[in-house]
A and B are shown apart, each in its own frame.
Chain A
Amino acid sequence: MRWETVIGIEIHAELLTKSKIFCGCSTEFGSRPNTNTCPVCIGLPGALPVLNEEVIQLALKAGLALNCKVNYINKMDRKNYFYPDLPRAYQISQFDLPILYDGYVEFEVEDIIKRVNINRIHLEEDAGKLIHLEDEPYTCIDYNRGGVPLIELVTEPELRSPKEAFEFVKTIKTIFEYVEVSDCKMEQGSLRFDANISVRERGQKELNTKVEIKNMNSFKEMQKALEKEEKRQIELYEFGEGDKIVQETRRWDSAKGRTVSMRGKEEAHDYRYFPEPDLKQIIISENNVISLKKQIPELPNEKLERLISQYRLNKKEMQIVVEDKRLTQLFEETIKKGARADKVLNWIIGDLLKLMKMGDASKNIPITATTLAELIKSIENGDISLKIGREVFEEMFETKGNPKEIIAKRGLVQVNNEEELEKIVGKVIENNPKSVADYNAGRKQAITFLMGQVMKETKGQANPKTAMNLLKIRLP
């Protein structure tokens, strides 16, 4: 491999506050256009921003979870540029004193632990949204999103492949969900990312010209976009056409599967940053940081290690669970209710994920720890078979129902009674002399057919072990 890829990522995450960063307006997604607005967040003359304290706490939590250092005295700055979605024509952001800096995060890529350093995390406000109407010569603006609090995280250029970039953003998303700083809903834009990518010859110290890629709406899309751009740059270098790579911003067109140039460096903005005079310095106390550190929950990596060693589970499978906070909660709570860890894991990895993928995976999970633990118990007790259990699970998923009620309502209780089963087995043997003969002639697989008949007779509710034993006894 002659070429080495260098990637740096910027992540914007909307913080989970009820109100906006500089006013009391709601941050609720999906409200009617311009209803969550006030003189402050639409920048009316004379209106002044007041910092929402909750924003500081959430940002600190995010940063502490990513091992960042805290700038105990930091400040807001104005980033000046004209754009219709930015009502004051400046964004209140942070420039030279970000609230958090020098962090790192570790994650696994192909069984190797990778550490990526985080340059900084800063606070800023989101902008409004331009709505381009079809067949109309004008654009509408919705300022509901304007002033929603954001953190921007910037990595060092230490990612070495699109796959690493993929794993990195996935890790960050999971951590943000664990510490509850952002809901990370990409489809609602509450988690967004841009990437800078360049390619250099292995061993070369200095970085080559980088290209910024925007508009990647999912982790997979990001990986695809970076792979495309990586290939484009390597090809140009291979042909000695490296100077064709210019510092620019390219937009990922997912429909066409390629990046398109948006604007070059010569059009780059001079944002004329300066300290926001309408806000005071932000001063953070050490006690505040100490108490927040105590509130940081067990993070995904630690949790994964603990759970696999505690319960001796498959790492790959457990990883899938740990990456989704909801699944992890379900997993841990179901165990607390007395279910066996390996069984719980099987249900989650198997049936639950399958059902979730068929519907809208971002929706709340309808299965609770209580209902799942009950279901597992019913199978262990022999009340129902595993096969029936899966049907019950499906219904639980559809109706949020309780397994006992579903079993009772549908009359699914397993037939364990030996006398009853003996009668049925006897009837099956009587009615299927050919299969019995086959079996007696040494074609032992015929017993499977007979077993099927027993199940048919009992509508699948026969205890399979008991039924099989009885068959074997009756067939000489």
Chain B
Amino acid sequence: MLGDMESAYEIVRGIKERRFKAEEVMEKYLKIISEQESRINAFITLREKGCMSEARMIDAKIAKGERVGKLAGVPIAIKDNICTEGIKTTCASRMLEDYTSPYDATVIEKLKEEGAIIIGKTNMDEFAMGSSTENSAFKQTSNPWELRKVPGGSSGGSAAAVASGFTPLALGSDTGGSIRQPAAFCGVVGLKPTYGMVSRFGLIAFASSLDQVGPMAKNVKDCALALEILQGNDEKDSTSCNIKLTDKYSLESESIKKLRVGVPKQYFEGELDSEVKNAIMKSIKTLEKAGVKVEEVSLPINEEILSAYYIISSAEASSNLARFDGIRYGYRTSEYKNIEQLITNTRTEAFGKEVKRRILLGTYVLSAGYYDAFYNKAQKMRESIKAGYREIFSKYDLIISPVAPTVAFGKGEKVHSSVQMYLQDLYTISVNLAGLPALSMNCGFNKKNLPIGLQIIGSHFSEEKIFQLAYLLECELDLRKKVAL
């Protein structure tokens, strides 16, 4: 249906070569959204009118022969925890239901500068806490491959939007797997960049030391293109990296055959669904056939990592979310007689259950007398995870692993068990704890035609190698003919 308007790369080329207009591209995407969004519910806020006029402006520039950006005329969907001036940013929470940021996140500034057009803000788990997008205060997003299934989370709206053909590109955020797991569930490509590679200025913080904004796309090439624009030092974010980055990623390289890839055996034991396991093993064989050297390695995976992750992320969240007190912006209770009641009632009424659970957990682990037993111990665990990865990356270039233990699960299936939900993050969280880059991509389908994800993990700032391996696999598997809708 979309033809050569399907990928961001092709759209930019087509517009620049005047084979089609940005206006036509936008019309096509908006038409699909208008036909399908009621089934998918990917968006919290849709922005129709503004998109068309921005597209026409790109066309006008091209007609005048003026310079247009690297994403000229490309529609993009933004996760609703990334601040956009003039468009509501809700974090899928009652707390920010009517909140509009007075400024653009750095990533939004960069996208606008390159001519990308924001089509809307996508649904998510409230404040990015969850693995199914079921914790949204507003709506439930469906998995486009099977509407009764969840799209994954927390960037479920962005993943579903890309998979549904509502947009060629989307931004997500990943604190423990929130880009990669929904990408896997929806059969798209999602990258969690190296910590510090992409500015967090304007990303509403969940866990500051783990959060990272990243692209979600139909294919590896678009994902790389988007990263080229998003990445780079930002003086407004002290944790952003200050090193020279590759400004153009090459996806094909002869050296790919010399890559040494490790496959951690522990990741394929225990919880992992057999169909997921088989699809990944098949992909590994495909890569080996293509000349990539793959070896089994040892990388412990256990519930202690999960505990460390939930302690650190919740501790930071309890502090990051404390500013939502009903005083300056956002929801305010109508029932209060003094300042304590104002703050308490506001937070009681406007935060959802999962957010409250994590605030309580985070507050508890930081409390006097518990700090050493929990927070400090978790930090030590974090150091040992980093050391474990360092060890592997001294011998291997990349790691291949599953993204999630299962394919997309049914709506409502896991909402009553936090532990079951938390186990979804088992294969993704250590990457955040270590600050590493990791990409999630489709590597096949199960018998019920649900996508299966594969994860490629690299050492710090090894995004180019990750893209190269992913691109090779994407070409070899050639799965993209399948579409969700």
Contacts and interface: CB of A to CB of B under 8 A. Distances in A.
Interface in B295-320: 315-316, 318-319
Choose among A47, A51, A90 the residue with the greatest number of B CB atoms under 10 Å from its CB. A47
B363 interface: yes
Contact of B238 (A45, A51, A273): A51
Contact of A274 (B105, B239, B315): B315
Interface string B199-239: 01111110111000000000000000000000000011111
A141 B325 CA distance: 14
A78 B83 contact: no
Interface residues of A, number: 28
Given A46-B205, A270-B367, A278 B102 contact: no
Contacts of B96: 45
Interface stretch (A10-18, A36-44, A222-230, A419-427): A36-44
Contacts of B319: 78, 80, 89-90, 272, 274
B373 to A, nearest CB: 14
A43 B363 contact: no
B233 to A, nearest CB: 12
B102 A272 contact: no
Nearest to A38: B103
A43 B205 CA distance: 12
Interface in B232-256: 235-239
B204 A48 contact: no
Choose among A39, A46, A88 the residue with the greatest number of B CB atoms under 10 Å from its CB. A46
A354 interface: no
Contact of A46 (B202, B371, B375): B202
Contact of B239 (A44, A141, A273, A280): A280
A276 B97 CA distance: 28
Given A43-B323, A80-B366, A277 B209 contact: yes
Contacts of A401: none
Contacts of B316: 274, 277
Task: Identify the 6 closest CB pairs spanning chains A and B, nearest first.
Answer: A89-B322, A272-B366, A277-B208, A277-B209, A46-B202, A45-B204
Contacts of A272: 318-319, 363, 366-368, 371
5 contacts: A47-B103, A89-B323, A89-B325, A270-B367, A274-B375
Nearest to A85: B327
B322 A278 contact: no
B101 interface: yes
Contact of A84 (B322, B327, B329): B327
Contacts of B205: 45-46, 278
A45 B83 contact: yes
B99 A50 contact: no
A50 B233 CA distance: 13
A273 B318 CA distance: 12
Contacts of A42: 328
B322 A88 contact: yes
A449 interface: no
B343 interface: yes
Nearest to A276: B208
Interface string B367-398: 11001000100000000000000000000000
Interface string A126-141: 0000000000000001
Nearest to B362: A272
A44 B329 CA distance: 8
Interface in A56-92: 78, 80, 82, 84, 87-90
A62 B16 CA distance: 59
Interface of B: 82-83, 89, 91, 96, 99, 101-103, 105, 200-205, 207-209, 235-239, 315-316, 318-319, 322-323, 325, 327-329, 339, 343, 363, 366-368, 371, 375
Given A45-B323, A89-B322, 11 more contacts: A39-B101, A45-B91, A46-B83, A46-B203, A48-B200, A50-B236, A82-B343, A88-B322, A274-B371, A279-B238, A279-B239
Interface string A277-289: 1111000000000
A242 to B, nearest CB: 27
B204 A278 contact: no
Contacts of A84: 325, 327, 339
A278 B199 CA distance: 11
B121 to A, nearest CB: 13
Interface of A: 39, 42-51, 78, 80, 82, 84, 87-90, 141, 270, 272-274, 277-280
B469 to A, nearest CB: 31
A385 B201 CA distance: 70
A125 B9 CA distance: 46
Given A39-B103, A44-B101, A278 B238 contact: yes
B209 A48 contact: no
Nearest to A51: B238
A270 B363 CA distance: 10
B208 A278 contact: yes
A87 B237 CA distance: 19
A84 B315 CA distance: 22
Nearest to A130: B339
Contacts of B209: 277
A442 B315 CA distance: 98
Contacts of B82: 46
A270 B82 CA distance: 32
A48 B238 CA distance: 8
A87 B366 CA distance: 20
B322 A82 contact: yes
Contact of B327 (A44, A48, A78, A141): A141
A272 B375 CA distance: 11
A270 B103 contact: no
Contacts of B343: 82
A45 B99 CA distance: 10
A312 to B, nearest CB: 55
Choose among B82, B101, B323 the residue with the greatest number of A CB atoms under 10 Å from its CB. B323
Contacts of B328: 42-43, 87
Contact of B201 (A47, A273, A279, A280): A47
Given A46-B105, A87-B328, A80 B208 contact: no
A54 to B, nearest CB: 15
A48 B105 contact: no
A90 B315 CA distance: 13
Given A51-B238, A277-B208, A90 B322 contact: yes
B375 A45 contact: no
A95 to B, nearest CB: 11
B322 A44 contact: no
B95 to A, nearest CB: 10
Contacts of A46: 82-83, 89, 101, 105, 201-205
Choose among A44, A48, A49, A90 the residue with the greatest number of B CB atoms under 10 Å from its CB. A48
Contacts of A89: 319, 322-323, 325
Contacts of B371: 272, 274
Contacts of A270: 367-368
Contacts of B105: 46
Contacts of B235: 50
Nearest to B321: A89
Contact of B236 (A43, A48, A141, A273): A48
Contacts of B238: 48-51, 278-280
